[in-house]
Structure formats: structure tokens, C-alpha cells
Amino acid sequence: MTEHDDPVVLGPSSGVPELDERKLSTLAQVGHHWRNAVADTAAWHDALPVDPGLRAAAPDPRGRFSRVEFVRDGADPDVEATPHAGVMPTAGGRTLNLARRLALGRPLRSTAVLEERMRKVIALPVLSSDALSSVAYGPEAMLVVLVLAGSAGLALSLPIAAAIVVLMIAVGLSYRQTIRAYPRGGGSYIVASDNLGPWPGMIAAAGLMLDYVLTVAVSVAAGVAAITSAIPELAPDRVPLGLAAIAILLAGNLRGVRQAGAIFASPTYAFILAIALLVVVGVVDAAGRGFAATPHPPVHAVEGLSLLVVLRAFSSGATAMTGIEAISDGVPSFRPVEWRNARTTLTLMVSLLVAMFVGTIALIELDGIVPSSSQTVLSQLAHLHLGSGVLYAYVQAATALILLLAANTAYSDFPRLLFFLARDFRAPRLFLRLGDRLAFSNGIIVLSVAAAAIYVAFSGRTESLIPLFAVGVFLAFTLSQSGMVMFWRRKRGPNWRRALTINAIGAGLSAIVLVITGVTKFTEGAWLVVILVPLLACWFWRIRVHYDAVGRAIELHRIPVNDACRAVIPVATAGLGSQRKDEIGRAEGEESPDELAHLIVVPLASMDLAGMRTLAYAASLGQPMLAIHLSPDDDDADRFRRYWKTWGDLLPLQIVDSPYRSLVVPTTRYLEALHAQRPDLTITVLLPELIVRGWHRILHNQLDVRLRRALRNHPGIVVSTVPFHIPDG
């Protein structure tokens, strides 16, 4: 459940694929090819004008180094950045840092990624908060549908609940098999990818991602409902209350809050206790009247009792199962023997879930409770049996707390899923990055924004969110358990037929629920999920296609042996057009330094200090260079030529008349025309850039930005600026 289940997999450098033997040998061969060009490697070290190891780091005159930013560890040749090196030495940088430290705490070292193992007594509440908390909205979601068919509908609540219980047990048993097979954690994405192939994996991941977003939205909505049931005055503030809850979850998770502590265990036990209390008191009350069911208040049937209503009620009630997969994801956080402890915990959790679900439904039936828009069903039960005092408050508080904790579960699962996707190059690589506090900050932020947007879009109403909820969950269940069926078929092993049968039943039942949910809830919102899941999956696929293309493009190639007798044109004797290299357009090939032919072009507007510094910078590199000047008219051309001659006409200059006065495009086209003469050249464009602060920027042309954009797609052209800093004024 925490982001550090598996330190081998989830460390900061674990997303970087290692080079295999073949690639290492290519690398060595490339190095060999370079050796001619680099020649004396010791000379390069000797030439360094600074000490890269910062051994002689002088105290900065401005006192900047009073805080040690880089340290060295004896024999270790590396320099190590201290937290001070992460702060820009400006007022803005320090303020930002202070704000981050206040919000997030001190940054944690990468080595702080530790595996945290949980005892069963802690793991049970931590990993089952999502599943058990579903009791707070699942039964109610079912009744909300049944009540549409009036008393006849409500009468069906027990049989439907029975079907859901069967489903819970089947899925629970099915996940017991997954735990055995994937002791390192078998999330639906991994199981489906491994056994069914990338597409089912990506679809499962898409379903899960939506599920996690909805878990946050639904749990927060239900938690807020628990609060507004107790304090009806807060009902109009549902949206700000929910957003505040999401903000707390965001901040807490960015801080990298540990979940395995007693703080996170207590709400679950408190909630179990609350439901138990409710059920016991309720049953005692019912016993007092000889278990005679209180009749429902008269309910006006809005629609006839049809199969559709029954199925919709079933699929709404099945949301009580969400979160059941959590333990199979989190196997590595158990103490050894992990899978055995995890299985025991899963069995315990499913038993509790079934008991609480059945107890709640039975009590509702006995007491003739009907869902109301102003109060949750749980709140009604609590009022009925526990009055309005401290016990009632306890039930509501425990409900709100466990729902918040359930939302928090998604905050571990969603970024971790994105990490797995990113590791497989199916999500942007930025989701690999560990934040200051070793949490996957980017995923946490994306989840918060998405959940907040959905929460606001649905005005925080649980009943509107429920129809979207179940599709993603049962899609992931189905794919994950179908994957397990394939797993057993391939892997065999002891008792594989029994395991396969159990998973097949789980997969089959999940698939049935998936279809029921998709069809009956389609118009109520499930269509959104039905559209989004394939779109997301396609996006994951496109990302992989792109990263694969990039990987192929930047992979080192072995250099052919006959390329050794290469005909490099020495710069000093390079002629004009006729002597072009054979490989036209090969401006970004795999070259060693001596194969690179340079031309430096300096576009100059005027002969000022910034321009002269750029010229000096260019000339000091000792490569062929050309200054160019664009003139809007002949007056300007003549004037600039005169200045250039006055200066001494020291370097080659070409004046380009631009009688239509545009600058960027003609400069671009001129550079392209030069490049067309010698496509093998690497042309470096060096522009003077005046660095000014703030709004003053609009007072200067952004030629570098525009030229860089215009030349962006042209291979073999480097655009660079030589900055010239203007004091404020």
C-alpha cells in the first residue's frame, strides 16, 4: 500500500533500463573509434581550468558558500549535493524553499527508501480500509435504485444482497490464488500484462486509474455525507468541504506520510466496531419485538419492478466490493512468509466485509429504513438504535474517517500504477520521479486534480458518482482474474486445476457484473468510463510507440569497420560547394569529434559590446565562422559595412538585404541555404542576448526564441545565445 513495497523496483534509479552486454560492447567499440580523435586523455584532464571535485572550493565573496552545498566522502570520487544545493541563492528561491519545507518537511535522501513490513494486525486495517469502507455507501447505493420500484423493489434487497455476497466470496477466493502466484505484488495491470499481453494490461490499467480517481471522489463524497447527516447545517458546503478533504490528502501524501502506523489502523477498527455495535444493538432491539420487521413507510413506485431495476440495484450494491484487490497488490509489505500472511489477512477481510455487509442490509430490512436525500442510511440506523448522543457521533465520525482513509489508499495505488506504466514506457517518464519526500509527487498531484474536478463536476453527490464507479473496478477484476486463468494454464504447478477453476469462476462472475454494470448504468454515466478506458489505453500505447521510436533513434550503433578509412575534410582546406561530403543530410550521425565539421554563424544587429562579445566568443572557438547582418535597406547595409571596415574587417561578414524587413524567416532560410551547400556541417548560430529583468523584456526583441523555434526542426543546426547581462535600470 505504501509507495515503497518493493525497494528493488521503486527506487529512484529503478526506472532507468540497464545496458545489456551487447550494448556495452557497442559502447566500448564506439569508444575505440573515438580514441583517434581524443588522443591524449590525460591532456584533457590537465587542461581543466577548474577542479570538478570542488576540493579547493573558495568561499564565495557574497557568503553564498557559508552553507555547504557540496560535500565529498573521503575516497569516493563523487561530489554529493547537500539539501542546500537544492535551493537557488535568490530571495525567490529561498522563499520557495521555506514554503516547501513548511508544507512537506525536510527532503529525504534516496537511501531512505526502506521496506516497511506490516504485522497482520496492522496490515488488515491499512489494506482493507478501502474495501470495508464500501459498506458505508454500497448498501445505500443498492436501496436508492430499489426504492424506485417501491415496496416491491425494496423487498428484493435481501436476495440481491445474497448474490453480492456470493460474488464477494468468489472474488475473494480468486484473489487468494493471485497472492500465491504473485508474492511480489500482483496488481491487475501486472497480472493482465504478464498473462494476457500488453493491451489487456493497458486496459486494466486504464480501468484502474479511473477507479482510483473515482475512489477518491466517491469516498470523499460519502465521508462528507456522513458529516452532513450528523450536522445538516453543513449540507450546502458539500463542495468546499470535499475539496478541503482532497487538499488535506494531497498535502499529506506529498509529505510522504507513512501509512503503516497505528494512526492509520485505528479508523478501520473504529469503523468495524461501529458497525458491530450497530448490528448488535439492532439485533437486540429486533429480538425485543420478536424479529418482526418494521414495515417500510409507504413508498411511491416511480417505475415498475423490472429486471433492469434489479440488475441496476445489483451493480450499484456491488460497489461495496471495491478495494477487495488491495491486499493482493500489497503482498510485499507483509512480514515473511508474505504470501501466507497476506492470504490469511485477505480471508479475514472478506469475512469481515461479508459480515458487515450482511449485517447492515439485514438491519435495514428489519427496521424498514428507506434512503433519504438528507441523511445516509447508516446515519438513520445509528439514530434509530443509538439515539443522537455520543454513540451516534462515534458511528458517524468513524464512517467519515474510514472513508478518508479509503481515499488515501488511492493516493498510494494511483501513483504506483503510473510508476509501473512509466517504467514500461507506457506513461510519461516524469511519473518515475520521486519527490522530496520519496513520494511520487507527480502522480499524487494528477490524482488530486482529477478527483477534485470530478467531485466538483458532480457537486459531490455520491449517488451520481456511483454509476461511473463500478465499471472500472470490474473491468480490472475481470482482466486480472482472466490473466490468472492463463497463468495457471501455462505455469501448471501443484493444484493448478483447482486454482484455475477458482480464478475462472471469479473472472466469469466479474465479467457478468461488468456487462450488467456497463449496460444498466450506461446512460447514467458509465458511458463516460466506456469511452475513457479505451482512449486512455490507446494513449498508453501511443506513448510506448513514441518511446520505442526514441529508443531506436538514440541507440548507439556499431561503427562499420570500413568507416575507419573515412575521408574527413580538414576544416582549414574545406572548399566550397563542389567538395561536399557524400552523406548529404547526415548532419546528426554518429560521429567522433574529429568527424564533426563546424561553421559558426553570428547574426549581428549592431557593433556594440554584446555583439562584440558574441563575436569574440565565436572566434575564440577557433572554428570557421561567418558574421551576418540583415539590412532592411541599402542605407543600413552601407552603414554597417562602414562600421565593419572601421573595426578592421577582421572576420568574414555577409550582409543579407531583407528589403521586406522581416528578420527571422530570411535568417532561417539563409542558414538553410548555407547548410544545403554542406549538409554534413554542424552550423552553430550564436546570437547576442541582452538579459534584462521583468517587464523590460518586451522592450527587446526575442530574436533567439523566435529563431530557435524556426530552426527547431532543422537537423544539424544549433542555436545558442551569448548572454550579456544588463544591470537593472
Nearer to a copy of itself, 16 or 121 (CB): 16
**Residue 687, strand partner residues:** 721
Q: Where are the beta strands (DSSP E) in 484-583?
A: none
For residues 134 and 442, which CB has a smaller minimum distance to a copy of itself in the complex? 442
Our CB check for a copy of itself shows the closer of 380 and 592 to be 592
Instruction: Choose between 433 and 461: whose C-beta lies nearer to a copy of itself.
Output: 433
Q: How far is the CB of 94 from a copy of itself (least distance, A)?
A: 12
Per CB under 8 A, which region of 140-148, 499-507, 509-517, 630-638 contacts a copy of itself?
Answer: 630-638
Q: How far is the CB of 250 from a copy of itself (least distance, A)?
A: 20
> If we measure between CA atoms, which residue out of 722, 501, 430 comes closest to residue 600?
722
When asked if residue 121 is in the footprint of a copy of itself (CB under 8 A), the reply is: no
Q: Which is nearer to a copy of itself, 347 or 720 (CB)?
A: 720
Grid cell 478501520 is found at 268
Q: Does 7 bind a copy of itself (CB under 8 A)?
A: no
Among 348, 692, 703, 706, which residue sits at the site for a copy of itself (rule: CB under 8 A)?
A: 692
Nearer residue to a copy of itself within complex by CB, 302 or 665? 665
- 36 interacts with a copy of itself by CB under 8 A: no
Q: Is the dihedral of CA 371, 372, 373, 376 positive or negative?
A: negative
Task: For residues 60 and 452, give the distance between their C-alpha atoms in angstroms, rounded to a whole number.
Answer: 46
Contacts of a copy of itself in 388-427 (CB under 8 A): none
Candidate ranges 35-43, 165-173, 248-256, 328-336; the one touching a copy of itself (CB under 8 A): 35-43
Binding-residue total with a copy of itself (CB under 8 A): 180
Residue 675 Cβ, how far from a copy of itself at the closest point, in Å?
Answer: 8
Work out whether strand 717-725 and strand 681-691 pair parallel, antiparallel, or are unpaired. parallel
- Strand duo 70-72 + 79-81: pairing: antiparallel
Q: Is 91 in the site for a copy of itself (CB under 8 A)?
A: no
DSSP structure string for 470-504 = HHHHHHHHHHHHHHHHHHHHHH--TTHHHHHHHHH
Bridge-based pairing state of the strands 597-603 and 79-81: unpaired
Distance separating the N- and C-terminal Cα atoms of the chain: 55
Q: Kindly state the cell numbers that stand for 44.
A: 584533457
CB 464 within 8 A of CB 458: yes
For residue 545, how many other CB atoms are within 10 A of its CB? Answer: 12
**Helices in 526-590 by DSSP H: which ranges?**
526-554
49 binds a copy of itself (CB under 8 A): yes
How remote is the C-alpha of 132 from its chain's centroid? 26
Nearest to 118 by CA among 417, 353, 325, 341: 341
d(CA 483, CA 472): 16
Which residues are registered as beta bridge partners of 327? none
DSSP 17: P
Nearer of residues 247 and 691 to a copy of itself, judged by Cβ: 691
373 forms part of the interface with a copy of itself (CB under 8 A):
no
Which parts of 229-268 interact with a copy of itself (CB under 8 A)? none
Cα separation, 556 vs 28, whole angstroms: 10
Q: Residues 671 to 690: which contact a copy of itself by CB under 8 A? A: 672-674, 676-678, 681-682, 690
Outline where DSSP puts E strands in 223-358: none
Residue of 103, 162, 244, 621 interacting with a copy of itself (CB under 8 A): 621
The residue with cell 416511480 is: 302
Give, as ranges, the residues between 333 and 362 that touch a copy of itself (CB under 8 A): none
CB 447 within 8 A of CB 285: no
Which range touches a copy of itself (CB under 8 A), out of 32-40, 220-228, 265-273, 404-412? 32-40
Q: Phi, psi (5° rounding) for residue 375?
A: -145, 140
Shortest separation between residue 31's beta carbon and a copy of itself, angstroms: 3
Choosing from 101, 433, 558, 706, the residue that interacts with a copy of itself (CB under 8 A) is 433
**Amino acid type, 585:** G
Which of 51, 75, 494, 565 is close enough to bind a copy of itself by CB under 8 A? Answer: 51
The CB-based long-range contact list for 47-50 (8 Å cut-off, 24+ gap) reads: none
Residue 599 CB, shortest distance to a copy of itself, in Å, is 6
**Whole-number minimum distance, CB 116 to a copy of itself, in Å?**
18
Pattern 452-491, a copy of itself, x by CB under 8 A: ----------------------------------------
Which one of residues 13, 373, 523, 562 is an interface residue with a copy of itself (CB under 8 A)? 13
**Three-point CA angle 226, 230, 232, nearest 5°:** 105
CB atoms within 10 A of CB 296: 16
Q: Give CA separation, 271 vs 164, 275, 401, 411, in Å.
A: 21, 6, 8, 21
Contact status: 198 vs a copy of itself (CB under 8 A): no
Find the binder of a copy of itself among 340, 666, 703, 706 (CB under 8 A): 666
Q: CB-wise, 108 or 512, nearer to a copy of itself? A: 108
Binding residues among 550-589 for a copy of itself as defined by CB under 8 A: 550, 553-557, 569, 571-572, 574-578, 580, 584, 588
Does 69 bind a copy of itself (CB under 8 A)? Our answer is: yes
Looking at residue 5, its amino acid is D
In whole angstroms, the minimum distance from the beta carbon of 30 to a copy of itself comes to: 7
Determine, following the binding rule CB under 8 A, whether residue 643 of this chain makes contact with a copy of itself. Answer: yes
Segment interacting with a copy of itself (CB under 8 A) among 384-392, 394-402, 403-411, 618-626:
618-626
Residue 597: phi, psi to the nearest 5? -105, 130
Lay out the site mask for a copy of itself across 526-555 (x = CB under 8 A, - = otherwise): -----------------x-xxxxxx--xxx
* CB of residue 648 to a copy of itself, shortest distance in Å: 3
Cβ-based nearer residue to a copy of itself, 292 or 609: 609
Choice between 457 and 549, CB closer to a copy of itself: 549
